[in-house]
Amino acid sequence: MSNIEKNYQAAKEQYAAIGVDTDKALKNMEKLVISLHCWQGDDVAGFEGEGELTGGIQATGNYPGKARNAKELRADMTKVLSLLPGKYKANVHALYAETEGKVDRNALEPKHFAGWVAWAKENGIGLDFNPSYFSHPLSAEGFTLSSGNQSTRDFWIEHGKRSRKIGEYFGKELGIPCANNIWIPDGYKDKPVDRFAPRARLKDSLDQILKEKIDRKYNIDAVESKLFGIGSESYVVGSNEFYTAYATQNKDKVILTMDAGHYHPTEVISDKISSVLLYMDEVLLHVSRPVRWDSDHVVIYDDELQAIAQEIIRNNFLGRTHIALDYFDASINRIAAWTIGARNTGKAFLAAMLEPSEQLKKLENEGDYTSRLALLEEYKFYPVAAVWDYYCETKNVPVREAWLKEVKTYEQTVLSKR
């Protein structure tokens, strides 16, 4: 018996004493699916060659070795997947289409993503999708689906329609539903006079995009809000109130996306999940880490990440929640950035599954807040790490920081040669 297994057996006994079955928790981890975002690997550049990012998106840093094409990007993601325990999907943006020559976004077809589907099949994973409403000449004025220019709006409406068909293609080919997430950067840098008209145009655009019925077993549409962006500091058309109302009114067509960095700095999505799921069947989460603003820092094992996982597990929401990572750090090794965020997210969910939630709820319902607080604090020091190590070992991925050595080797043998 290895030391890791010995530590697990000891942890198993400790958890059993408080009514927690660690074997059951590990089995439940099979229900957790995390969507790994492709844009961490190349700083959201994509394959269009349009140049620098625009539309409220910004990646900072110039760490060497970023992926320059689809072959390199998918190779990097394959390496990351080998370092992660559990089940994953890959999340693809429209600007990662592989085309022969120039194909504009209103002309994209499923065939332009055949390489992604082939790769997903090789790795036994699903794919998610995102129409790309930024870094394009027709987004330069700051408005896409809410644009007052009809031809501009028509262009982006068609892009949205085609993105849904690409999502449907993913779902049919892979047998796993594709979460197709709509986010636009539309807004004003300074205070507008008319807040209503752009939102009315956005509503109409969404209605047109979503008019065709697509089976949710293939494609699940979602809409994502934001508080502010670069160049839209004073007014964002697709606000939280707009999309929450739209998703509630159209729950048969869309679900709501909540991004950890898209709210006021004092707001957290862990406090919003239970409210949303009272009125909606499902929710999509973008797990990120804002630092003072929506800065898309690598996810760490902090209080909010744990709170998100606890809210989902305590209320049995896992089957109703789509979990995706969304950050892009170009200041550190990109393979490491992916791995750190994904492993931390897995750790947070495992820790939540190892909590005696029913016991704590009982104390809360009885008004014994003293015991609730005392036990919540004591349980933080229970040996979740020993269970995580065992989980990694049983999944044949590196245990603890051993993954970093593999990343360093990959950097020397692959990334440094780019």
- Please indicate, yes or no, if residue 371 is contained in any of the structural domains: no
395 tagged catalytic: no
Are 92 and 53 within 8 A, CB to CB?
A: no
The domain of 262 spans 33-354
Closest CA to 325 of 291, 285, 295, 265: 285
Are 288 and 325 within 8 A, CB to CB?
A: yes
- Please indicate, yes or no, if residue 119 is contained in any of the structural domains: yes
Instruction: Exactly one of 173, 186, 326, 389 is catalytic; name it.
Output: 326
Instruction: Exactly one of 37, 159, 203, 262 is catalytic; name it.
Output: 262
CA 319 to chain centre: 16
What one-character DSSP code corresponds to residue 252? T
Written as six digits, the tokens of 120 are: 């997903």
224 tagged catalytic: yes
For residue 178, the surrounding DSSP H or E stretch is strand 178-182
- The pLDDT of residue 74 is 98
Written as six digits, the tokens of 300 are: 């760490």
- Please indicate, yes or no, if residue 320 is contained in any of the structural domains: yes
Are 56 and 185 within 8 A, CB to CB?
A: yes
CA-based torsion, 331, 332, 333, 337: positive or negative: negative
DSSP labels, 195-237: SHHHHHHHHHHHHHHT-S---TTTEEEEEE--S-BTTBSSEES
- Please indicate, yes or no, if residue 410 is contained in any of the structural domains: no
389 tagged catalytic: no
Phi, psi angle pair for 183, to nearest 5°: -135, 135
Return averaged pLDDT per consecutive 10 residues of the chain, 418 residues in all: 94 98 98 98 88 74 94 98 98 96 95 98 98 93 96 98 98 98 97 97 98 98 94 95 98 97 95 97 97 92 98 98 96 98 98 98 98 98 98 97 98 96
Instruction: Exactly one of 259, 311, 389, 411 is catalytic; name it.
Output: 259
Written as six digits, the tokens of 296 are: 């898309």
262 tagged catalytic: yes
Mean pLDDT computed over every residue of the chain:
96
- pLDDT tens digits for range 308-337: 999 999 999 999 999 999 999 999 999 999
Instruction: Exactly one of 93, 226, 272, 297 is catalytic; name it.
Output: 226
Give the CATH number of the domain where residue 165 resides: 3.20.20.150
- pLDDT tens digits for range 40-89: 999 999 999 766 777 767 788 899 999 999 999 999 999 999 999 999 99
- pLDDT tens digits for range 356-399: 999 999 999 999 999 999 999 999 999 999 999 999 999 999 99
- Please indicate, yes or no, if residue 389 is contained in any of the structural domains: no
- Please indicate, yes or no, if residue 367 is contained in any of the structural domains: no
- The pLDDT of residue 11 is 98
**In angstroms, rounded to a whole number, what is the distance separating the alpha carbons of residues 401 and 404?**
6
207 tagged catalytic: no
- Please indicate, yes or no, if residue 82 is contained in any of the structural domains: yes
403 tagged catalytic: no
183 tagged catalytic: yes
Are 75 and 418 within 8 A, CB to CB?
A: no
Instruction: Exactly one of 42, 224, 282, 329 is catalytic; name it.
Output: 224
Instruction: Exactly one of 119, 183, 388, 403 is catalytic; name it.
Output: 183
Q: HEC string of 322-357?
A: EEEECCCCCCCCHHHHHHHHHHHHHHHHHHHHCCCH
- Please indicate, yes or no, if residue 368 is contained in any of the structural domains: no
Total domains in the chain come to 1
